[in-house]
Amino acid sequence: MPDITLTTLQSLKQSGEKIAMLTSYDATFAHAASQAGVDVILVGDSLGMVLQGHDSTLPVTTAEMAYHVASVKRGNQGALIVADLPFMAYATTEQTMSNAASLMQAGAHMVKLEGALWLAEPIRLLAERGIPVCAHLGLTPQAVNVLGGYKVQGRQEAQARQMRADAMALEQAGAAMLLLECVPSELATEITQAVNIPVIGIGAGGGTDGQVLVVHDMLGLSLTGRAPKFVKNFMVGQNSIQGALTAYVRAVKDQSFPAAEHGFSA
């Protein structure tokens, strides 16, 4: 059992203390992140891009995810571990159950699924079977080919209305947490206030219950040399990676990150 549990995160939401979440993919970074006070470690399928060098997350397999989850578990010092179910790993009920079980057995405390209202049934089935779920709304990288690229989602009123409705429906289905990616700040704040579960943002402004970044991004490492608008380089002014990780947690907690320039307008 991790030191940080779902009950902890729920208490943080209720008290107004921000949740610091960061990706890690190996034991060393998991140890460093948890020592810095990161509440939640996300073993993201973003590893397909930052570790494997792919141009999207689509090539990542469940077996690869399980390998990295197990590595993170061995280095983690009390953070809650969330693991992405990768592309097409939850297309059928049988796949969803089997692949989620693999990640939980590898050491995850929660799995994350990308989608919209259609996630309600798999979330319900997983929650019934003791597997907590984080639902990922907004920009969902696994659907990049449908979305036509990495674009802000929810700027049109109909789209925003649907996202609000989806968030509430997925909470009702049993989602234990929401992640909003590249969503207008005002909409993300509305959704955060409309649901009772913790909401984590990335490119969603400061009105969510917490923040997540890809660890490589916040350390100023990039294969392309171009950082997304919502990223801040926390190595600036620090003389160690550990210092940068600690600075990130402090900035999330004191709400100096994200600043207005890291968010998007409608």
Which residues are catalytic, by number? Answer: 181
45 labelled binding-site residue: yes
Phi-psi region of 17 (alpha: psi -120 to 50; beta: other; left: phi over 0): beta
Tokens of 160: 């925003």
232 appears as a binding residue in the annotation: no
Residue 213, SS3 per DSSP: strand
- Structure token digits, residue 17: 């203390």
CA separation for the pair 162, 38 (Å, rounded)? 32
Q: From 120, 89, 109, 122, select the one nearest 42 (Cα to Cα).
A: 109
* CA-angle at 71, arms to 103 and 69, nearest 5°: 20
Q: Which of 121, 132, 231 is nearest to 178 (CA)?
A: 132
Question: CA 96, 101, 107, 111 torsion: positive or negative?
Answer: positive
* Residue 112 labeled ligand binder: yes
d(CA 50, CA 43): 12
84: annotated binding-site residue?
yes
C-alpha to C-alpha distance for 144 and 49, rounded to whole angstroms = 13
Confirm whether residue 46 is marked as ligand binding.
Answer: yes
Q: Which long-range contacts (CB under 8 A, 24 or more apart) does 141-147 make?
A: 141/45, 141/46, 141/56, 141/57, 141/114, 141/181, 142/45, 142/57, 142/58, 142/86, 142/87, 142/114, 143/114, 143/115, 144/56, 144/58
Which residues are known binding-site members for Mg(2+)? 45, 84, 114
- Residues comprising the binding site for 3-methyl-2-oxobutanoate? 45-46, 84, 112
Feature table: binding site? 45-46, 84, 112, 114
